[in-house]
Amino acid sequence: MAYPIISRLGGVALITGAASGMGRAVAQTFAKAGSQIVLVDRDPTGLEKTITEYGIDRKQSIVATIDVRDDTAVEELVTKIIPDKFGRLDFAVNAAGITGKGGLTIADESVENIDNVLSINLRSQIMFNRAQARVMLLPKDPLDAFTSQPDSQVTYKASDCPPFRGAIINFSSLAGFRTAPNFASYSISKHGVIGLTKVMATGFGPKGIRTNAVAPGAVDTPMLKEYPGMETLASYVPARRVAHPQEVANLVMFLCSPWSSYVNGETVVIDGGWAAGA
């Protein structure tokens, strides 16, 4: 069964947007899987709650209260602090994001809002992806989950493909496939994440790094609750409810695991069937 393998991934996992919502669920799930955790967010109170809710071992973690738009801080964290403490990076989940100010077309949005949304949702993911790939390629011992699970692996010659070096998961959105005219810059940024994911997959797949993205629909997070009327979204979903953050975290863990060893460059929609009726 998949669960025993996913539940003992180990390694080192970096999660941005770890202070709430889907990022928090992902961080806590990696902790359950025996991974050492790097928690990234600009909200120290939220990060503290992520740690205390599950009892994450602080000695086996890095807590980085940074703005993901700060290139210097991102580079320092990923390429220096993480290697110095753990000597490796195996998984990276880039969940930090904002919707920005909605209700306006692209012609009416302020340039400030456009820049803010694109810098957090897309540019920061580009900068994180670049740094994450470089560190994943540093010399390191293979993870047991990827070498000692014969029931999870297809038999093939080791020389046929590169060994597993890492998995990067970017966060797009259903809005990355369907335009959202009143959240224009948000929709543009999420389309861009899909492009970034493909570029990373083709560029680093031959080196053993798989890059995929998830595209959630409506998820019960603080960001969803910021906008009046969002509670009606469930009526558009065949599942007749919004997703729980843990359901998205489960998908992320699958995409990081040996069970998805041939999945690379994909953006996986998780929306309860919402897009199926579009």
Catalytic residues: 186
- Residues paired with 224 in a beta bridge: none
Residue type, 27: A
Distance CA 197, CA 212 (A): 6
Of 268, 216, 213, 277, the residue nearest 242 (C-alpha): 216
Distance CA 168, CA 136 (A): 10
> Which positions ≥6 away from 77 have C-beta within 8 Å?
38, 40, 62, 64, 66
β-strands 91-94, 61-65 pairing: unpaired
Helices (H), the chain: 2-6, 21-32, 44-54, 71-76, 82-86, 111-118, 124-136, 184-204, 245-256
What is the residue-wise DSSP string for 1-12? Answer: -HHHHHTT--SE
Q: What is the DSSP letter of 104?
A: B
Edge to edge, the sheet with strand 166-171 lists 61-65, 36-41, 12-16, 91-94, 166-171, 209-216, 267-270
